[in-house]
Structure 1
Amino acid sequence: MSIKTVNRRSPRRVGRFRLDARAVEHACVGVSRIMSQCIIVRAEMSYLRGAIEYEAISWRFREVEQGFVLPTYQWIYNAETGELDVQEVMP
């Protein structure tokens, strides 16, 4: 298996999102679909929220310049259709 290196000039498509800890523990299909769309670079369990907070790279996120605050996203999975969407959440 070969891995291509990323061009340093490629866009930074980085963002944050949160998933319910119970859904992650039970390895729900929706969680698997979400994880297939991104590369997790940081994960932190928030016991107060009952969620795991992620920072990730995804082609589905908008470009972010170096030094800017990472945008927050919400993944939406439709279990009936299998459709997966992501939306930026405004603070």
Structure 2
Amino acid sequence: MCRNIHVLHNFAPPAASEEVRAASLQYVRKVAGMTKPSQANQEAFDRAVDQVAAATQELLDSLVTVAPPKDREVEAAKARERSRKRFATQAG
């Protein structure tokens, strides 16, 4: 899956519509195999992004969990630490 698409469920505050749209755009770009459609495909591309965003928002609104919401800042710090460890240069 695209690395640019992040988990949007169970965060405080909830995912904003801009985040849902950005994830939908990344998904459609990946499936279509293009980052910028031609003029002939622009309408179909935009329609697909709108439909994926609507389905994603509906899914997020429907999901139920008993787990407490995750803090965005804490999760972002964890991700930065994982990235730092993953890409750290090893001396020797």
Shared fold (TM-score, shorter chain, > 0.5): no
**Greater helix proportion:** 2
Shorter-chain TM range is under 0.3
Larger radius of gyration: 2
Q: Output the TM-score relative to the length of structure 2.
A: 0.24
Q: Output the TM-score relative to the length of structure 1.
A: 0.24
